[in-house]
Structure formats: C-alpha cells, structure tokens
Amino acid sequence: MIKNYVFDVDGTLTPSRQRIDPEFAQWFTKFAETHNVFLVTGSDYPKTLEQVGHDVMMSVRRVYNCSGNDVWEKGVNIRRKEFMLPHDLEKFMYDWLQASKFPLRTGTHVEKRPGTVNFSIVGRGASLEERQEYVQWDKHNRERETIAYQINEGWDDITAAIGGETGLDIFQTGCDKSQILVDFTPNDVIYFFGDAMFEGGNDWPLAQANVKGKNFPIAGWEHTWEILKTVWDEEHDNASTSWNVDNQYKKAKGKEIYGKATPEVGGGLAAT
C-alpha cells in the first residue's frame, strides 16, 4: 500500500488567490520531500508557481493544473487536454455579465485555460477588497450557484463548478479533479485535502471518486498545517506506528470537527 498526499492549493495550502505563508512553504517542502505529495488545482501553472513558489513546486511529485487537464512534473509539462468552449455557452456567459446586478466589472471575466474556462462576474482584475465585496454579495445572492445550475441544466456534456472565491470553473463533464485517479493504481491510497468538498465545489468530484482513500475537508491552510504537523510528529515520535495519517483522520472525525460529514466526504466546513 502506497500512501499519497494530494492537496488542493487555493484555500488549502494558501489563502485564496494569495501567496503561501513563507514558514509553511518551508515546512511543506520538507514534508513533500519525504512523502508522496501531489497538488491538484483549478489554477494554471504560472499562477500556482506564483502562489506556492519554486521550492514547493519542485518538491512535489506532480502538479495537476487546470483540474488535471494540464499536468506537470518538476517544471516539465507531461500532458495537456484542450477544451473548446461552445459558442452558445460563451454567449450565455457574456449575457450574464450584462445581466448581473453586482455593480463592479474589473476585466478578464472569461479566462480560457487548458481543459477549462474560468468565469468571473467581478473579473480577475479585482483587488482583494473588490473580491471581498463580491464574496459577500454572492453569499447573499447565491449568484454563482444559479449560474452553475443553469449551465449544468442547459449543456449536457459540460459541467460548471464553483471554484475559488469569485469564479466558476467550466469544463467537459468528467474533466474535473477526479480525472487524476487514472495515474494511481489499486495499490495507492489517497489522502485528499481540500477546502471545497461540498456538493458543487471543485474538490467534490475527486472526494466522491476517492472511495478507497480518505478525504480531509479543510477550513483553511492553517488547518492543513495543523493536521500535517500531527502526522509528522506521530511518524517521528513513534516510528513503529504506520497509521499516523489514519490516526489523524479518526481523531478529527471523533471530534466532529468535520461538521456534518458523510462517511467519507465532509459538508459545510468549506472556507468562507
């Protein structure tokens, strides 16, 4: 049995859209050099590199960018899938940009990436403050949920999922984070850490498909670090224990810090 640690990036290793804490980056690099670590994120390679830094990128086994549509190993691209955005869907998104009652537009609203398109009403040009304005507004108006629902109902072979704090990830159905499982064998066990394991979140498909492994719904990067530190301490204090990460999983579930978790997938503990 091979233990594999798979991490979402935004909200799991870093604050949303921001850089990783330098102290945590250093610690995490050490962890990644001694464990089988993978990253899986909706973001593209340059953004992930900017967020987590060179050392983390080089210390992990593989980085699955664009929800696994663009795969990198030690800075080398090893696989890429393209997604053709249907014309009528593109028009639908521009109609929403006109129709949304949220007042602010900051530019770069439809961003094409390998295998996926990111759609954001406020836009990628938003400052931290402007993003927060949208986050609050979306919380009350549930706009992204509505858009995702309409796309999922209206286009058979296309899936829309809430990604990050202000956007939606749109892709060919099945080309979500769960597709990374093709790279693992029945001998692999996956410990998956993500902040969006709730239904409709971009970690949900992989959490659902990870039936043999364990899912850790994360409330923020500090939460991830807390769990990993305990895993590390258990491994080093008691070398005869090979259960470490499983112990953490049991303890965490025992304390019910995972809220109303279903047996393997948590709900309601996503970072807000």
Name the site residues for Mg ion (rule: CB under 5 A): 8, 10-11, 195-196
**Do residues 264 and 270 lie in contact, with contact meaning Cβ atoms separated by under 8 Å?**
no
Measure the CA–CA gap between 137 and 5, rounded to whole angstroms.
Answer: 35
Name which of 10 and 244 has its Cβ closer to Mg ion.
10
The DSSP annotation for 246-259 comes to HHHHHHHHHTTTTB
Q: Min. distance of Cβ 220 from Mg ion in angstroms?
A: 10
Nearest residue to Mg ion by CB is: 11
Q: What is the CA radius of gyration of the chain?
A: 18
Name which of 143 and 169 has its Cβ closer to Mg ion.
169
In b/e form, how buried is each residue of 175-191, taking b as 16+ CB within 10 angstroms? bbbbbbbeebeeeebbb
Q: Min. distance of Cβ 120 from Mg ion in angstroms?
A: 15
Name which of 62 and 244 has its Cβ closer to Mg ion.
62
Name which of 151 and 270 has its Cβ closer to Mg ion.
270
User: How many CA atoms lie less than 13 Å away from 51 in the CB half-sphere?
Assistant: 22
Q: Min. distance of Cβ 174 from Mg ion in angstroms?
A: 20
Name which of 45 and 244 has its Cβ closer to Mg ion.
45
Q: Min. distance of Cβ 106 from Mg ion in angstroms?
A: 21
Q: Min. distance of Cβ 223 from Mg ion in angstroms?
A: 12
Strands laid side by side in the 158-163 sheet: 110-113, 116-120, 167-172, 158-163
